[in-house]
Structure 1
């Protein structure tokens, strides 16, 4: 993105001349009360230096930046240099986004060539405003996120103004704080913050920066910025009533406004940009690669290296490798000690493809054979190399699921069968004994491709980034742990499409990974997996159509399966139609944040948290699943402000005889259901007979011993008998006890005192937003949000019902 910052002073109330509005500590103040091309100079005397100067103008009331898709525009104030200070601003964009990743506005401080801190505010689809803090280390291609994104406001529509502020102070560590909020609402506390004590911290004075960036997948946009100000110290730049004031940063958040009505969903609001549309800047000194499959070239734009692996071998740590458009049929290993960025050339389609073109088939009866086919991929299914657990993973109804071979004819996947005698149109057989590939569809005049590689990319270099390309059709066995795998600390994987691979698309272990804006689809077993991957963040990704080979739902399958990891954040993703399982967190996960996601269309469970401890599950939609949300042998969970609709069972709490197997984790993660709070959820029942269930499979505990606290929920069912039960509750040796009404359930559990059950007309619309009629229940039903829940969602604590993000 480069610098994408517009720093501004915030004005509320009477408009006054710039000099009157500027706080006494202001170094810069600019109200743009002039008309000119470019931005010229602020009334306080500082001149702007512009990159992409033709995009800047002033119209007498604001500074404007006109952006085409993929463009950024940068302004700086080189006459200003300070160590500690605050910049802030008022912004708007001239459109509402229904696709792409929207416009990013950033406030930059301590800028010097190649280095800066920035608070980034992104206006996204569905009117969301996301805020995060990052640091640039030497070039625009080397950006490190140091405070994760969070949604801080909704309802950002065309012309809707909002404020952003960014404060930086200190040297060891450097303290960074940012906040953003709608014009006309109270100033919140700092919403995103971090202390940078790393060796790469920026501990010297620098200039503020001004600029914007527009996603390559969004439509042309004009950004308006008003009242640019830079002030000394970490004080607010806000003024009220046209009178200059300098305010200390508030310490408590003000209530957030009620969210805007949810718009209809858009298919492109999450996931990667299409392959060929990524537009990352190419830094000076970049290494170029062309898809030749050769160890040739010098790595320049005029004479690119002939393969990615050759470029990796030739590169030193810190380099950016730029892939020219084409198909790369290779396996790439990034070794230890090399922190590389591997990215597609702007607007060029780059695919890593594990399949090769195949020709030379001979007809024999009703089939066609290719002789000399010696590819022999391991069909044993296990996370451990050499072990075979196919009996657990493979559904007997789909016996070839564990065989990673793949064949495509004119792009259409063919089905693998177990013998030559079974081959018919649309199928193929790999005759290992006879070294033959046998097809049931006539390949004459058609493009035939078959998998010949097992792995695409393995990352062993810390701080490596992969972005902007596609990965498909690798015959990845389960023991390879992902067609793409990040196996050391702090990998960034973004804007990748990973599809049609034999088992797992993407897998991570080690700590600090950032996965964002990914499309993981049609992979044989699972979209994404992780183990011992502390502080991993998965954000704004589309995980759909995985478990394409129809493996058993257990031990692992579906959209996502993570285990043995602390501090994982799963934010603003869509999990849709991944067979039985959507997202599954299992075996000693701890401190999980699951917010802003959609789990839809899974035959068994949309979201399962099992054998783990401490989770926030908030602001999610779980719809049209077998089970909406399931909590199994897990404690310390807050289930707040979710919308659960059309699931056979909305909520499930299960306990069995298993207890923590690692003695050192017994106190931290005991594998016991306890301390569960369930509030402010909208729960529209489906057809299942027990829409809310607690159950002890060892037939010892009663539901009231599970430590489940339910209150402030809005329930709905078609009628008093559809479904017949309101809930079913663990009942010791008797199994479960059913309750027909909320009143009966409330009397038995002592909970749900403020909850309400409606019957008849549905309480959710077709897009699962709460209907206006049902929304009137908010004042009597909803509870004040727990502070950790509100912080995780990025809103105030004022009562509200159901998911806050848009479906």
Structure 2
């Protein structure tokens, strides 16, 4: 029993979570408030073995409490009777003591919360009101005092990062749509015209426009063009044949899912609208009518902190959204409450002299005509439920969006569900859960896309939220885009995404990770910026054939978190397998490596980080070298002596505790990595614009490796060039 168990504590309740998985410990901080890191206070076994008993974790969704017990024990039965849900085996330990060789792990209780602790720690707990409930299980006795190899805590907590002395963001200012009403496109002579002053009985000519976009689409020929005059169109639009839908030159066109609301009456400190009968389905998952999971990391909504996240109701006062609350007593300025039983809508902001609008429509635009084009259009205030997928759905191949803004969707803004789609200068912002969703989005090109300020309803970071999440897709290219400022991950590839390129893009200021590559394969990341992400700059998790060249990392949690866990592509019916690809798929093993890291600038992580280079195998099977992880030609900067460790480096089966190196010199001499790399401590290596300082620039040619032709082609730079960080 030599596998470390990570323990996280909720400072508000004192309850704790114990897990053998470092990534779960990390997520417990961001999703469930277990923000106090208690390290690895004891060890157990992650696999079954003779003489060991299975330790099950049980979860009480009502009290938000975990307890770990021996399978089949009286404690197990007691917990189930008290409403705890069995989450299955988490690790293995001894049910009984072995004289002189084990120590008890006790379960302590206070105010209905459980906490595991050794007897030594338990004395402190008892002094603060905790009571010993029972011995939960036994683990190896603590060794005699010595100087053991340090065991790093794999994942830090994620407080908001402090200001970074090296400057502000490297945001890609060119990303995103033109302002609605700024785009100009030529119109063919046979175009169909739509105007708010038109009539659906008209011919659709420029002098006799129709009134609704749907009517314009209906009478347009296949391959035709529908031109929409400026105004607000409160309708749900379906494109069912190939067509171009565009704004009239320099006129602002909005598809709007809300309706003006008047007739407010004062009601104490609130204002009330009677007879509000609009209802939306608030199913919190992708299955209509299904309850939310109570299993951590599969639960969409935190019922304690943001219980209304999945409710699609929306109210806007002078264009600004109000936050929905769960009872009238909670209504205050900036919030609203819908009493569905009485059909009364309450707001806390005085509507006098203001425009109040509330969402009444689920979908904005369903694109079911292959090779259609939508450009120069704004979409706002639609209220899809989670299972509706998005306000705008691309359901046929070859579709193009250009200069399109999608704002204030109740859950997800845009979904790409077919191949050969092109997104050019598209802005997605203010989505309640996720900016952009994608599945089966093969050969997708995203150019100058801006996805920002999404998940503003604060869904849990997992299973889905943030700027963009794609699964089961092949051939994604992201260029000159920005996935920044989201509550969650910036861009998340998960469940068998193959062959992606990210270049000249910005992944910054996200509360999660800038770019998360999970159980996928073949990725090139180059010439991009990762700044001030609270978790990681890039996380590579069970993803193979990854090349990370010429990026700039400043002010993140761990800048590069490169990890392997126990998942493998060994079950053809696993939901993460792309069902379109023949199985087994040798190109998609869900294993880490090879990962090539070259010519990057890695500087000044936050105090939440404990390393600059972080390579770990949580399954304790392979060394970093065996996984094919290599570093060279990178430059490292620590303005202070923190973090203490420059590198954490997996030793696989040799030792479950990875190497930790405090200096680049030690990292080089032990591993043979970074023959050309440089380290700077006590000085900044980039300026306020994230450009190299003169001291670092002067050694650029001797530190950087020559850019290989395959990477040069992928990221659009000159082969053989020697550059540090982004261009």
Task: Show the counterpart of 1:367.
Answer: 270
CA distance in 1, matches of 2:540, 2:439: 20
Q: CA deviation at 1:737?
A: 2.7
Task: Show the counterpart of 1:529.
Answer: 437
- Deviation string 1:651-694 (CA, Å, 9 cap, x unpaired) is 01111111124371441201000111111111113132122211
CA distance in 1, matches of 2:479, 2:545: 19
Task: Show the counterpart of 1:599.
Answer: 507
- 1:464–1:492 contact (8 Å) kept in structure 2: yes
From 477, 495, 501, give the equivalent of 1:587: 495
Matched, 1:705 2:612: no
Task: Show the counterpart of 2:80.
Answer: none
1:173-252 mapped onto 2 (5 Å cutoff)? none
Q: CA deviation at 1:474?
A: 0.7
From 632, 642, 646, give the equivalent of 1:726: 646
- 1:380–1:390 contact (8 Å) kept in structure 2: no
The ranges of structure 1 where at least 4 consecutive aligned residues each deviate by more than 4 angstroms after the TM superposition are 262-268
CA distance in 2, matches of 1:571, 1:410: 35
Q: CA deviation at 1:363?
A: 2.4
- Deviation string 1:325-367 (CA, Å, 9 cap, x unpaired) is 00010000111xx111000000001111111000112223232
Task: Show the counterpart of 1:342.
Answer: 245
From 186, 190, 199, give the equivalent of 1:281: 186
Matched, 1:655 2:564: yes
Q: CA deviation at 1:803?
A: 3.9
- Deviation string 1:290-349 (CA, Å, 9 cap, x unpaired) is 1359633211111111100111112221011000000010000111xx111000000001
Task: Show the counterpart of 2:711.
Answer: 789
Look up the SS of the partner of 1:728 in the other structure: strand
Q: CA deviation at 1:276?
A: 0.6
From 660, 669, 684, give the equivalent of 2:588: 669
CA distance in 2, matches of 1:388, 1:706: 40
Task: Show the counterpart of 2:232.
Answer: 327
Task: Show the counterpart of 1:451.
Answer: 359
Task: Show the counterpart of 2:696.
Answer: 774
Q: CA deviation at 1:532?
A: 0.8
CA distance in 2, matches of 1:425, 1:784: 58
Task: Show the counterpart of 1:743.
Answer: 665
Q: CA deviation at 1:528?
A: 1.0
Task: Show the counterpart of 2:547.
Answer: 638
CA distance in 2, matches of 1:602, 1:264: 12
- 1:641–1:800 contact (8 Å) kept in structure 2: no
- 2:198–2:209 contact (8 Å) kept in structure 1: no
CA distance in 2, matches of 1:266, 1:731: 37
Task: Show the counterpart of 1:393.
Answer: 300
Look up the SS of the partner of 2:474 in the other structure: coil
CA distance in 2, matches of 1:690, 1:763: 17
- 1:714–1:801 contact (8 Å) kept in structure 2: no
- Deviation string 1:201-236 (CA, Å, 9 cap, x unpaired) is xxxxxxxxxxxxxxxxxxxxxxxxxxxxxxxxxxxx
Q: CA deviation at 1:263?
A: 13
- 1:293–1:328 contact (8 Å) kept in structure 2: no
Question: For residues 649 and 745 of structure 1, do their structure 2 counterparts lie closer, same or farther at Cα, with a shift above 3 Å needed?
Answer: same
Look up the SS of the partner of 2:545 in the other structure: strand
- 2:500–2:522 contact (8 Å) kept in structure 1: yes
Question: For residues 593 and 665 of structure 1, do their structure 2 counterparts lie closer, same or farther at Cα, with a shift above 3 Å needed?
Answer: farther
Question: For residues 802 and 394 of structure 1, do their structure 2 counterparts lie closer, same or farther at Cα, with a shift above 3 Å needed?
Answer: farther
From 337, 342, 349, give the equivalent of 1:429: 337
Q: CA deviation at 1:475?
A: 0.9
Task: Show the counterpart of 1:694.
Answer: 615
Q: CA deviation at 1:267?
A: 7.1
Q: CA deviation at 1:442?
A: 2.6
- 1:655–1:695 contact (8 Å) kept in structure 2: yes
- Deviation string 1:710-759 (CA, Å, 9 cap, x unpaired) is 1111111124x322111112244534331111121122322211111122
CA distance in 2, matches of 1:640, 1:741: 22
Q: CA deviation at 1:772?
A: 2.3
Task: Show the counterpart of 1:754.
Answer: 676
TM-score, structure 2 normalization: 0.72
Task: Show the counterpart of 2:257.
Answer: 354
Task: Show the counterpart of 2:724.
Answer: 802
Q: CA deviation at 1:437?
A: 1.2
Question: For residues 487 and 729 of structure 1, do their structure 2 counterparts lie closer, same or farther at Cα, with a shift above 3 Å needed?
Answer: same
Matched, 1:308 2:216: no
- Deviation string 1:178-212 (CA, Å, 9 cap, x unpaired) is xxxxxxxxxxxxxxxxxxxxxxxxxxxxxxxxxxx
- 2:172–2:482 contact (8 Å) kept in structure 1: no
From 603, 610, 629, give the equivalent of 1:684: 603
Question: For residues 264 and 740 of structure 1, do their structure 2 counterparts lie closer, same or farther at Cα, with a shift above 3 Å needed?
Answer: closer
CA distance in 2, matches of 1:266, 1:668: 34
Q: CA deviation at 1:544?
A: 1.3
Look up the SS of the partner of 1:533 in the other structure: coil
Task: Show the counterpart of 2:318.
Answer: 410
CA distance in 1, matches of 2:343, 2:175: 43
Task: Show the counterpart of 2:279.
Answer: 376
- 1:649–1:685 contact (8 Å) kept in structure 2: no
Question: For residues 438 and 711 of structure 1, do their structure 2 counterparts lie closer, same or farther at Cα, with a shift above 3 Å needed?
Answer: same
Q: In the comparison of the two structures, how many residue pairs are matched? A: 541
Look up the SS of the partner of 1:518 in the other structure: strand
Task: Show the counterpart of 1:297.
Answer: 202
- Deviation string 1:512-538 (CA, Å, 9 cap, x unpaired) is 000010111111112111001100111
- 1:293–1:329 contact (8 Å) kept in structure 2: no
CA distance in 2, matches of 1:435, 1:780: 71
1:422-571 mapped onto 2 (5 Å cutoff)? 422-571=330-479
RMSD: 1.9
CA distance in 2, matches of 1:649, 1:342: 44
| Runs (5+) with no aligned partner, structure 1 | 1-261
- 2:635–2:679 contact (8 Å) kept in structure 1: yes
Look up the SS of the partner of 1:311 in the other structure: helix
743-752 vs 477-486, which moves further: 743-752
TM-score, structure 1 normalization: 0.65
Greater per-residue strand proportion: 1
CA distance in 2, matches of 1:292, 1:745: 71
- 2:602–2:612 contact (8 Å) kept in structure 1: no
CA distance in 1, matches of 2:623, 2:172: 43
Look up the SS of the partner of 1:774 in the other structure: helix
- 2:447–2:481 contact (8 Å) kept in structure 1: yes
CA distance in 2, matches of 1:438, 1:562: 37
CA distance in 2, matches of 1:646, 1:777: 23
- Deviation string 1:578-625 (CA, Å, 9 cap, x unpaired) is 013111111100000111111111122111111001011111111111
